[in-house]
């Protein structure tokens, strides 16, 4: 196999997205010292629309469209994403060709005055961009006020520091990657806030006709993380997962067994159904599909139908 001479990575312009792209760039430079690896920085629709929640403006695909256009027209060879931002129904001519080792998948509680969600007084305002987080917070702490929080990581922290929120909940991995781990007051155990499918993992997207890229990127892939996110994304795919659905799925591997937890909830947290499945790592896809079916059998379909009806209503 010939070695790459020049590779261009498409990335969003946010500080976190740039960190992720630079991380992959550095890994590639180590693998292929003679290769020139460059970044193509783009602004996506998801970065531009900050006054509405993602569920109201088109969902996760808003963060990948411009990057995919760069893959299509040849300006870039690969795109680096936070995997939880990648739609599960990725269509040809694109493919997710490598999933890197996962960072901390947990949600993080950030506040300037309180140590945990349990410490917040009734009526305290908690900010989150995620219906998944919102539903679980509302279920456990119904006395709290949950409000939308959009923008990149620095923007969200800035809104907290201005006093617009008493606390915010963010992905721990993003804070750690940017050297902001000290802002974390406490980490939410997955039993309290089950992570999103793919949370903490980086995914690399390419055009599906680039067999050369597939081979060059293969050494970056993590087998265990790939198996976990295959199971998690299978849940989301079967349930039509998007930003409009408060859906969580989190898998772990121990001694050759993959264990998966998943849930679907109403945004207000009043209704929540859970599933737990496990089996051999090689059956990750089937485990995810079985967990999704268990959720459907337990009543998830009624929640999903209600959410779809709500989305069909004008604002």
Q: Residues with catalytic annotation?
A: 85
CA pair distance 99, 84, nearest whole angstrom: 11
Q: What are the helix and strand counts (H, E) for the chain?
A: 11, 13
Decide: 80 and 28 in contact? Cβ < 8 Å: no
Structure tokens at 227: 């198996």
Helices (H), the chain: 15-31, 45-48, 54-57, 65-72, 131-140, 153-161, 172-177, 211-217, 223-238, 284-295, 301-312
Nearest Cα neighbor of 190 from 271, 104, 264, 131 is 104
Task: Measure CA 247 to chain center.
Answer: 11
DSSP letter (8 states) at residue 60:
G
Structure tokens at 1: 């196999």
Cis peptide bond N-terminal to 135, omega within 30 = no
Helices (H), 141-283: 153-161, 172-177, 211-217, 223-238
- Taking the alpha carbons at both ends of the chain, their separation in whole angstroms is 54
């Amino acid at each position: 196999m010939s070695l790459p001479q020049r590779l261009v990575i498409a990335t969003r312009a946010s500080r976190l997205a740039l960190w992720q792209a630079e991380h992959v760039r550095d890994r590639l430079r180590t693998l292929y010292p003679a290769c020139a690896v460059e970044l193509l920085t783009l602004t996506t629709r998801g970065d531009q629309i900050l006054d509405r929640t993602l569920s109201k403006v088109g969902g996760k695909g808003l963060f990948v469209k411009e990057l995919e256009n760069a893959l299509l027209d040849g300006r870039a060879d690969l795109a680096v994403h936070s995997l939880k931002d990648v739609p599960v129904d990725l269509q040809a001519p694109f493919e997710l060709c490598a999933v890197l080792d996962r960072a901390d998948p947990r949600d993080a509680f950030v506040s300037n005055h309180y140590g945990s969600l349990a410490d917040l007084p009734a009526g305290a305002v908690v900010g989150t961009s995620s219906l998944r987080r919102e539903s679980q917070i509302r279920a456990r702490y119904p006395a709290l006020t949950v409000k939308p929080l959009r923008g990149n990581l620095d923007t969200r922290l800035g809104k907290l520091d201005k006093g617009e929120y008493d606390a915010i909940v963010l992905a721990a991995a993003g804070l750690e990657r940017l050297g902001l781990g000290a802002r974390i007051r406490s980490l939410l155990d997955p039993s309290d806030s089950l992570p999103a499918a793919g949370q903490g993992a980086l995914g690399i997207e390419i055009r599906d006709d680039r067999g050369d890229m597939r081979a060059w990127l293969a050494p970056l892939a993590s087998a265990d993380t790939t198996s976990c996110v295959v199971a998690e994304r299978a849940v989301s795919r079967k349930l039509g997962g998007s930003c409009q659905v408060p859906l969580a799925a989190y898998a772990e591997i121990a001694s050759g067994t993959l264990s998966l937890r998943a849930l679907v909830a109403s945004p207000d947290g009043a209704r929540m159904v859970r599933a737990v499945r496990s089996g051999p790592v090689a059956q990750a896809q089937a485990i995810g599909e079985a967990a999704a079916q268990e959720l459907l059998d337990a009543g998830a379909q009624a929640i999903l139908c209600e959410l779809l009806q709500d989305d069909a209503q004008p604002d």
